[in-house]
């Protein structure tokens, strides 16, 4: 049995992606808030819990082995039908500031493995995010 809810796991994924480059941008944080308020996966999640849950995740990440701990919690909490959603949310946060650095690319690779996301599915999710974030 998981120690966090599926909604918390999705928040953990987004916070981890935002924090991976050690700079949580305003755009990333705004997008996380918008996602929590609009996505059906968060229908039963109280948006007022976003900041406390994000702080929980940040606290775990600061510990030795924190990333592995977060990934373990996420893997255990997400049912298989929400794993692609988790990956899609990570990609959305990574794309929020219109550039994806090496740290973010590496985290996406690790997350694909943790969530057992098929390479073709991952490529489709990534291409969709790229299309949504294009500018003129």
Per the rule left: phi > 0, alpha: psi between -120 and 50, beta: everything else, 65 is left
Q: What are 10-37's pLDDT values in tens digits?
A: 999 999 998 887 767 677 788 889 999 9
32 vs 6, residue with greater confidence: 6
For 126-130, what is the mean pLDDT? 88
Other beta carbons within 10 angstroms of residue 65's beta carbon come to: 10
pTM for this structure?
0.91
Inter-residue contact 32 to 14 (CB < 8 Å): yes
Q: How confident is the model at residue 121 (pLDDT cuts 50, 70, 90)?
A: very high
Q: Which domains can be identified in the chain, with CATH numbers?
A: 6-132 (1.10.3680)
Q: For residue 1, is pLDDT > 60?
A: no
Average pLDDT, the chain: 90
Inter-residue contact 111 to 90 (CB < 8 Å): yes
Lowest average pLDDT, out of 61-65, 126-130, 131-135, goes to 131-135
Q: What are 71-99's pLDDT values in tens digits?
A: 999 999 999 999 999 999 999 988 877 77
What is residue 132's predicted lDDT score, i.e. its pLDDT?
83
What is residue 31's predicted lDDT score, i.e. its pLDDT?
85
What is residue 2's predicted lDDT score, i.e. its pLDDT?
57
């Amino acid at each position: 049995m998981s120690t966090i809810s599926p909604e918390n796991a999705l928040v953990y994924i987004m916070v981890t992606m935002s924090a991976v480059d050690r700079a949580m941008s305003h755009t990333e944080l705004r997008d996380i808030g918008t996602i929590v308020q609009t996505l059906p996966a968060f229908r039963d999640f109280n948006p007022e819990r976003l900041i406390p849950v994000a702080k929980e995740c940040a606290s775990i990440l600061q510990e030795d082995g924190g990333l592995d701990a977060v990934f373990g919690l996420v893997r255990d909490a997400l049912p298989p039908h929400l794993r692609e959603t988790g990956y899609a949310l990570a990609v959305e946060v990574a794309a929020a500031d219109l550039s994806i650095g090496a740290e973010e690319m590496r985290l996406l690779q690790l997350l694909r493995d943790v969530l057992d996301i098929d390479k073709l599915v991952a490529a489709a999710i990534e291409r969709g995010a790229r299309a949504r974030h294009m500018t003129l």
